[in-house]
Chain A
Amino acid sequence: MSNPVALTPEASPHAAFAVTARPSVVRFLLREPASAVALVVVVLLVLAALFAPWLAPTDPYAGDLANTLKAPGDGFLLGTDGQGRDMVTRLLFGLRMTLMMSLVAVVIGCGLGGLVGFAAAYYPRLSGLLMRLMDVLLSFPAILFGLALTAIVGPGLTAVLVALSIATIPLMARVVRGAAIVVLQQDYIEAARALGMGDARILTKYVLLNCLSPIFVFVTLRFGQVILLGSLLSFIGLGAQPPTAELGAMASDGRNFLFFAPHVSVLPSLLIFVVVLAFNVLGDGLRDALDPRMRR
């Protein structure tokens, strides 16, 4: 087959949306103070979570009953929890667990949702059925999936992961379908068809690449939401179970000492706030950077 130079995404009127063709995205992000800070915070938090086992001063599960509920600064930078475990260590590992949980849920949910979205866009005959199904899923809040799944398989991270993935599928499907339909109307898709390209090739080579911007924005914003929902479920006791270091579960555990050692539950809650805020600000910034229509 001849090299379809004229068909590359860069040559299309849609090129403005292709992530690959825009090295300026990061520059644009860094120019906005809020997005720049958010980007730095996200990178630092991810690094902290990745290297938690090396950064943490102590074992996250080894208690020290001689040093329980120490206030921050009292021999421990951020104090200790009810079992005498160092809060710095617990927060690092809690962050690691929370980010991992959200990553898995977002990858599964967005993967499946993406497939549904592309299928619905590419095969109009399937669209009605698939999107109706998505509407049904969408009419129930994530927390209800969490309640139902933990009722069936029992409280724990698995149930929460599945619930958050399911709740992500219809949202992603809508975003992807909307973006893909626009791309599929472009001339270069017709040209690719005329050249005899197969469905799979057109989808991966042209449609997917040109839909990356809205997907990027959605995934970033969704990541924050999933962190929030996951820690909510853990906080009410349905997610990660003690002694697992997970931020929501840690905040819940600290409730017992709220009146004499508030740091035990406030610190993990604050960390969740910072993480989610960073992802939300970054997501908004990305949207402004990738979608010129949103620029002010």
Chain B
Amino acid sequence: MLRNVVQRLLLAVPVLLGVLLVGFLLMQVVPNDPAVVRAGPTATQDVIEAIRRDLGLDQPLWIQFLIYLGRLLRGDLGVSIINNMPVIEELGNTIGPTLELMLASLIWSVPLGILLGTVGAYWRGRWPDRLVVAASVAGVSVPVFLLGLGLVWLLGFHWQLLPFTGRTGPLWTLEGIQGVILPAVTLGGVFVGPVARMTRSSVLDVLGADHVRTARAKGLTERAVVLRHALRNALIPVVTLIGLQIGFLLGGAVVVETIFSWPGIGRLAVGAILSSDAPMAQGTIIVLSAGFILINLVVDMLYAFLDPRIREAR
């Protein structure tokens, strides 16, 4: 187990370096010369040259990359071209709200998806199953903005039930909870379908397994068979798949943050790209990529931890 963890960690290192290299190259291809930007519009050529030396921009590219890595290690991601704020600070401010939004979406969509998937598998081929299958196909096909705009129009504007413009406060206050409902319903709404789909097929797989047949042969009720013997085993791949689908969820989060003016990292990234703020764009992309590498690592380990067969096979 420990060897496995170390191996995974070692594999993640070159990937992370690759991401950083892409981030570094991103800064090379943008038209703005960082020295000119930092010096300001009135600087003389001498000042620009001095800054260029100062930033190490006169060095060969691979040395610049090493300098860049050194700065990253110290948490220095540069400053925004737009508002001169340190990138790392802005990132710190936006990660919280994004995690909040994703958590608030997962907390209701995953249980609902698992419930629907189990219901579908339990009544396989009958009308509840057909309903679940139809709903989950619709769920994986709906563009998240259709759901978001619809909810904004109906609950936010037409009935004026809930706020839809940004984070209204911390999650432990009533205003905060009201503010997160519509974004979380939107984002979670597109996640129910995939979870239900995965759960249904996973439970169906397990229902054909030997131990389930044994349980039936023992004379257990169908409910006990499905809930205690099938679902528990079926959830192992579902957990992994949910982990891997976090990427899908993040894609939705970028859109949801845009629709609801949610101050998260997705909205920050899009804003930075649209305003050609290269250091900020680079920072958001590095943080998001590192996040994915981490999620994949955790999911891999969780899988091995949950499923003894895999643990021993390795």
Q: A141-B248, A144-B289 are in contact. Are A238 and B270 (CB under 8 A)?
A: yes
- Which listed residue (B18, B138, B149, B278) contacts A136, Cβ 8 A? B18
User: C-beta contact mask, B279-299 vs A, less than 8 Å → 1, else 0?
Assistant: 001101100110011001000
Q: A150-B273, A151-B281 are in contact. Are A232 and B144 (CB under 8 A)?
A: yes
Contact residues in B for A140 (Cβ distance below 8 Å)? 247, 289, 292
B175-228 at interface with A (beta carbon < 8 Å): none
- CB atoms of B258 and A141 under 8 A apart: no
- Which listed residue (A147, A152, A259) contacts B153, Cβ 8 A? A259
Number of B interface residues in the complex (CB < 8 A): 47
Contact residues in B for A258 (Cβ distance below 8 Å)? 149, 152-153, 157
Q: With CB as the reference atom, state the residue of chain A lying closest to B253.
A: A143
| Interface residue SS majority, chain B | helix
- CB atoms of B285 and A266 under 8 A apart: no
A264-283 at interface with B (beta carbon < 8 Å): 265-266, 269-270, 272-273, 276-277, 280-281
Chain B CB within 8 A of A197 CB:
no
Contact residues in A for B273 (Cβ distance below 8 Å)? 147, 150-151, 155, 238
- CB atoms of B292 and A144 under 8 A apart: yes
- Which listed residue (B143, B281, B284) contacts A276, Cβ 8 A? B143
- CB atoms of A143 and B153 under 8 A apart: no
Chain A CB within 8 A of B6 CB:
no
- CB atoms of A151 and B282 under 8 A apart: yes
Q: Quote the shortest CB–CB distance from A296 to chain B (angstroms).
A: 7
Task: Identify the stretch in A9-17, A116-124, A206-214, A223-231 within 8 Å (CB) of chain B at 4 or more residues.
Answer: A223-231
A223-246 at interface with B (beta carbon < 8 Å): 224, 228-229, 231-232, 235-238
Alpha-carbon distance A141/B289, docked complex (angstroms)? 9
Q: With CB as the reference atom, state the residue of chain A lying closest to B274.
A: A237
- CB atoms of A270 and B251 under 8 A apart: no
- Which listed residue (B30, B146, B248) contacts A272, Cβ 8 A? B146
- Which listed residue (A148, A235, A259, A280) contacts B255, Cβ 8 A? A235
Contact residues in B for A265 (Cβ distance below 8 Å)? 145, 149
Contact residues in A for B276 (Cβ distance below 8 Å)? 154
Q: Quote the shortest CB–CB distance from A230 to chain B (angstroms).
A: 10
- CB atoms of A143 and B157 under 8 A apart: no
- CB atoms of B141 and A236 under 8 A apart: no
Contact residues in B for A236 (Cβ distance below 8 Å)? 254-255, 258, 270
Alpha-carbon distance A152/B125, docked complex (angstroms)? 49
Q: Quote the shortest CB–CB distance from A94 to chain B (angstroms).
A: 13
Alpha-carbon distance A232/B187, docked complex (angstroms)? 13
Given contacts A143-B251, A237-B258, 7 further A-B contacts (CB under 8 A): A136-B15, A140-B292, A147-B273, A151-B281, A151-B282, A229-B251, A235-B145
Chain A interface residues toward B at CB < 8 A? 136, 139-144, 147-148, 150-152, 154-155, 224, 228-229, 231-232, 235-238, 248, 251-252, 255, 258-259, 262, 265-266, 269-270, 272-273, 276-277, 280-281, 284, 296
Residue among B138, B145, B274 facing the most chain A CB atoms (10 A cut-off): B145
- Which listed residue (A142, A224, A262, A284) contacts B251, Cβ 8 A? A142
Chain B interface residues toward A at CB < 8 A? 15, 18, 22, 25-26, 29-30, 125, 137-138, 140-146, 149-150, 152-153, 157, 247-248, 250-252, 254-255, 258-259, 269-270, 272-274, 276, 278, 281-282, 284-285, 288-289, 292-293, 296
Contact residues in A for B259 (Cβ distance below 8 Å)? 255
Contact residues in A for B284 (Cβ distance below 8 Å)? 147
- CB atoms of B141 and A224 under 8 A apart: yes
9 sampled A-B residue pairs with Cβ under 8 A = A140-B247, A141-B292, A155-B273, A155-B274, A228-B141, A229-B251, A266-B150, A273-B142, A276-B141
Alpha-carbon distance A140/B26, docked complex (angstroms)? 17
Q: Quote the shortest CB–CB distance from A140 to chain B (angstroms).
A: 6
- CB atoms of A148 and B143 under 8 A apart: no
Q: With CB as the reference atom, state the residue of chain A lying closest to B257.
A: A236
Q: With CB as the reference atom, state the residue of chain A lying closest to B30.
A: A152
Alpha-carbon distance A262/B157, docked complex (angstroms)? 11
* Closest CB pairs A-B (n = 5): A141-B247, A143-B251, A269-B146, A277-B141, A151-B281
Contact residues in B for A273 (Cβ distance below 8 Å)? 141-143, 146
- Which listed residue (A229, A272, A277) contacts B137, Cβ 8 A? A277
